[in-house]
A and B are shown apart, each in its own frame.
Chain A
């Protein structure tokens, strides 16, 4: 519990029915946009849990922008209630699956990105294109963006605890590099 890891985004998927009339749903939901020419899903933004939901004709639903799985579940229950109250055929307590989580943290040191790029396989660092170094880990299968400030972004997370595991692995690798130098 040394590093303060903060979950900043959670992506979740679920299914609330099948063969959903998105035109109808668009009329029922307040902040809904549905432009099939542009994207096959209906976009609905909620302000309460500040999230965005994508609803598809198949009944599949994605929820992004939540800070936790629970927050995403609250958002999904909200739209389910709205659609059900309007008379649509919707599943009540669908199983929600976390597809991805994004976290931020601080290494507490200012790493030399050039050294990391040269010494660690599987890292990409192209400052011309992006200031962060891209570090792909296999064990917790996540991707970590490391910045010169020591700030870090961890994404691809399926479990919250993997963030700390990944962070510790990186700190350990950084220590090994410093020993060599």
Chain B
């Protein structure tokens, strides 16, 4: 009887220790990515939910924490790519993606596909672009979505191309190389999306 009691204490000790570790992991990764408090809190809620439903079995705490953070970023509309999360954590993108899908399914969270528009504020800010360019890029992306020019393409690539076009149109030009770097895509991808957007949206970009 005493044993059983001690075991319970041990188990709850381990659970608390694991939860504390998970929360510190969330904070560590979130800090590295400069994520706001609400995202961290959202991720913590998701993580606790996963613990309560016993979804951690067979998975690493770091993996679930990283996936929870990835999902929280999307829910808060300040998306980070799987590569960014993977780089900030010590979990590879494949496992984060797999765990994220598992969590979304088991916790009954349905996340809309990442909207390229959600990447614009961050990318534009990192490029030191003014609000007008940001607004123009968003307007381009809205038109692009209406014409089905975003479906199937990587959200970061389309967002990058829209920002590049907007920067040129409003006389705040950034090079494709610079935009590509902050967006984490190649210049080739920006060129491909650039061609597609300017052609189908009848945008005249005179350099």
Binding site for A on B (CB under 8 A): 81-82, 97, 101, 110, 112-114, 145, 148, 150-156
**A113-B113 contact in complex given A127-B153, A148-B151, C-beta closer than 8 Å:** yes
A118 at the interface (CB under 8 A from B): yes
Interface string of A100-134 (1 = CB under 8 A from B): 00000000001011100110000011111101100
**Can you pick out 9 interface pairs between chain A and chain B where the beta carbons lie within 8 Å of each other?**
A113-B151, A113-B152, A117-B113, A118-B112, A127-B113, A127-B114, A128-B82, A128-B156, A129-B97
A135 at the interface (CB under 8 A from B): no
A56 at the interface (CB under 8 A from B): no
Hey, which chain B residues are within 8 Å of A132, CB to CB? 152
Interface size on A, residues (CB 8 A): 17
CB nearest neighbor in B for A118: B112
B112 touching A117 by the CB < 8 A rule?
A: yes
B155 touching A127 by the CB < 8 A rule?
A: yes
A interface: dominant SS: loop
Hey, which chain A residues are within 8 Å of B114, CB to CB? 126-128
Hey, which chain B residues are within 8 Å of A118, CB to CB? 110, 112
B interface: dominant SS: loop
Binding site for B on A (CB under 8 A): 110, 112-114, 117-118, 124-129, 131-132, 147-149
Instruction: Determine the distance from Cα of A127 to Cα of B155 in the docked complex, in whole angstroms.
Output: 7
Give the Cβ gap from B86 to chain A, nearest Cβ, in Å.
12
Instruction: Determine the distance from Cα of A147 to Cα of B152 in the docked complex, in whole angstroms.
Output: 7
For the complex with contacts A129-B82, A132-B152, 17 further pairs of A-B residues with Cβ separation under 8 Å are: A112-B151, A113-B113, A114-B112, A114-B151, A124-B101, A126-B113, A126-B114, A127-B153, A128-B81, A128-B82, A128-B114, A128-B156, A129-B97, A131-B152, A147-B152, A148-B148, A148-B152
Hey, which chain B residues are within 8 Å of A149, CB to CB? 152
A127 touching B82 by the CB < 8 A rule?
A: no
Which residue of A117, A128, A148, A149 has the most chain B CB atoms within 10 A of its CB atom? A128
Give the Cβ gap from A144 to chain B, nearest Cβ, in Å.
15
Instruction: Determine the distance from Cα of A127 to Cα of B97 in the docked complex, in whole angstroms.
Output: 12
Give the Cβ gap from B44 to chain A, nearest Cβ, in Å.
23
Give the Cβ gap from B113 to chain A, nearest Cβ, in Å.
5
B112 touching A128 by the CB < 8 A rule?
A: no
Hey, which chain B residues are within 8 Å of A147, CB to CB? 152
Hey, which chain B residues are within 8 Å of A125, CB to CB? 113
Which residue of B82, B97, B113, B156 has the most chain A CB atoms within 10 A of its CB atom? B113
Give the Cβ gap from B67 to chain A, nearest Cβ, in Å.
13
Instruction: Determine the distance from Cα of A149 to Cα of B151 in the docked complex, in whole angstroms.
Output: 9
**A128-B151 contact in complex given A114-B112, A117-B112, A117-B113, C-beta closer than 8 Å:** no
Hey, which chain B residues are within 8 Å of A128, CB to CB? 81-82, 114, 154-156
Instruction: Determine the distance from Cα of A148 to Cα of B144 in the docked complex, in whole angstroms.
Output: 14
CB nearest neighbor in B for A131: B152
CB nearest neighbor in A for B145: A114
